[in-house]
Chains A and B, each alone.
Chain A
Amino acid sequence: MEVKTIRSTLARLFLSRITVRSAAIPQRSAEINTCRRSLAVRPLPLLGPPEVLSGFPKERKNGVVVRSGNKELRSISVKGGTPRLLEGRAPGVHGHPLGTYRLGPPGSIAPLRVSNRRGYERIAALPQERASRLSQIRRRPSALRADEIPLALFYPLLQDNLEKSILNREKGTLLLWYNSSRRVPSSRALLLLRRTGGEGGLEWRWISPD
């Protein structure tokens, strides 16, 4: 037995002493995680007034295709004025991706830009939608003749800003695309009526809302 061990054993037995050793403890740094989040907000500033907000598919130059639910609706009319009725097509036909395009000369559609600013593009491409206000009128519009039946009344519409409009026959709403470069403050109401006399048929008529 070593002298050192004998000394230690005797010290413990007779003097109640034990050896205390020391050792360096390595410094530890705990990794701290946080639950705080930094939220990503898509930067989609407006670069300039959008020219025309529309859903023109490039390959269809004769009309506008708008997706409503699972149906694709097609209009015949494109340029301003009064909208024409849509022909609804069978379910299962999907619409085209919406984009922002500049209107070229009649009959041609040139893309304005294609970018990944998908949020702004999407909302700028969407038309505004108006529900019929016919149930809210208190009296028969004075613009109606005796042989005319009002079917729908849309308000407010900026007639001179209107680039195109489409009637969604399923929902009874009017989809509107404005030309944002024009600033015309006055608005009007658009009445859809059915003529019972003469040749009959449907007619759109601009009227004063008052």
Chain B
Amino acid sequence: MASPTKHLGYVIMEAADGTYRGAVLVTDFRGIPADFRYTDPITPSRIEKILYGSSLEAYLREELILGSLAAAVEVKPLLWIGEDEGIPEPLARITKTRSALLGPTNRPPFDKVGVWERQSEPGACIFQADPLSAPLRLSLAPGDVREEDLKNTVALLVEAASTMDILEPFSRMGKVLSAIAEESNGS
């Protein structure tokens, strides 16, 4: 019996000129899309800005955008990955799935694939995802800060990185959102 396909979920959130929007892309370990969702752009009204005050951003990003996206996505990934610090914690809370922040570093490569080095912040490490790249920086959402969680997440990402570029889907999502925005603006 074939093993179930493993997936990674990517989340981006954009805020420009007072307008917010977000998208999720779930891919298999080859980087091939399995599910993609995006929100309509949201421009908070003046009343909303007054009523929500300093909590407006959190409300829009966490409750409205992340909550809506998480509820809509049908293919559930093993790990949610964000490139924005504000994403993993609320996403882990909403989806009850491990969520992490992932980004590049300028560090020289480690000797072996899978080697990881814990960082001072809880749940953070730098690890060697594949033999031909600089180490990546991983930060798990608060709550998933046990050594075991970090080790398992690194192992999962190393497995995925053997067949895909695990940061590449972010750029694809950005391109699609730009194309959709251009289409909406009639350009």
Interface of A with B (CB < 8 Å)?
35, 37, 39-46, 49-50, 53, 118-120, 122-124, 126, 128-130, 133, 136-138, 153, 155-156, 158, 161, 178, 180, 185, 187, 189, 209-210
Q: For residue B131, give the distance in angstroms from its CB to the closest CB of chain A.
A: 5
Contact at B165–A39, with CB atoms within 8 Å? no
Given contacts A126-B176, A138-B109, A178-B30, 5 further A-B contacts (CB under 8 A): A41-B68, A43-B37, A118-B183, A128-B172, A133-B133
Q: Which residues of A contact B172 (CB under 8 A)?
A: 123, 126, 128-129
The verdict on B72 contacting chain A, using a C-beta distance below 8 Å, is yes
Contact at A44–B176, with CB atoms within 8 Å? no
Q: Which residues of B contact A156 (CB under 8 A)?
A: 130, 161-165
Q: Which residues of A contact B183 (CB under 8 A)?
A: 118
- CB nearest to B171 among chain A residues: A129
Contact at B40–A46, with CB atoms within 8 Å? no
Contact at B35–A136, with CB atoms within 8 Å? no
Contact at B32–A53, with CB atoms within 8 Å? yes
Contact at B30–A161, with CB atoms within 8 Å? yes
Contact at A41–B176, with CB atoms within 8 Å? no
**Knowing A35-B48, A46-B34, A156-B164 touch, does A123 contact B176 (C-beta < 8 A)?**
yes
**Knowing A41-B69, A123-B176 touch, does A130 contact B32 (C-beta < 8 A)?**
no
Contact at A120–B31, with CB atoms within 8 Å? no
**Knowing A45-B74, A155-B132 touch, does A39 contact B68 (C-beta < 8 A)?**
yes
* Cα A37 to Cα B51 with chains together (Å): 14
Contact at B64–A37, with CB atoms within 8 Å? yes
Contact at A39–B48, with CB atoms within 8 Å? no
Q: Interface on chain B toward A: helix, strand, loop, or mixed SS?
A: mixed
Q: For residue A162, give the distance in angstroms from its CB to the closest CB of chain B.
A: 11
Q: Which residues of A contact B163 (CB under 8 A)?
A: 156, 158, 185, 187
Contact at A44–B179, with CB atoms within 8 Å? no
The verdict on B180 contacting chain A, using a C-beta distance below 8 Å, is yes
* Cα A187 to Cα B154 with chains together (Å): 19
Q: Which residues of A contact B36 (CB under 8 A)?
A: 44, 119-120, 123-124
Interface residue tally of chain B, by bracket? Answer: 35 or more
Contact at A209–B132, with CB atoms within 8 Å? yes
Q: Which residues of B contact A123 (CB under 8 A)?
A: 25, 33, 36, 172-173, 176
Contact at A155–B130, with CB atoms within 8 Å? yes
Q: Which residues of B contact A126 (CB under 8 A)?
A: 172, 175-176
- CB nearest to A155 among chain B residues: B132
* Partner among B37, B65, B71, B168 whose Cβ is within 8 Å of the Cβ of A129: B168
Q: Which residues of B contact A128 (CB under 8 A)?
A: 31, 164-165, 168, 172
Contact at B40–A40, with CB atoms within 8 Å? yes
Q: Which residues of B contact A129 (CB under 8 A)?
A: 168, 171-172
* Cα A35 to Cα B31 with chains together (Å): 39
List which B126-175 residues lie within 8 A (CB) of chain A: 130-134, 161-165, 168, 171-173, 175
Q: For residue A77, give the distance in angstroms from its CB to the closest CB of chain B.
A: 21
Contact at B32–A189, with CB atoms within 8 Å? no
Which are the 7 A-B pairs with shortest beta-carbon distances?
Answer: A41-B72, A133-B132, A39-B68, A155-B132, A123-B36, A122-B176, A180-B32
* Cα A204 to Cα B72 with chains together (Å): 43
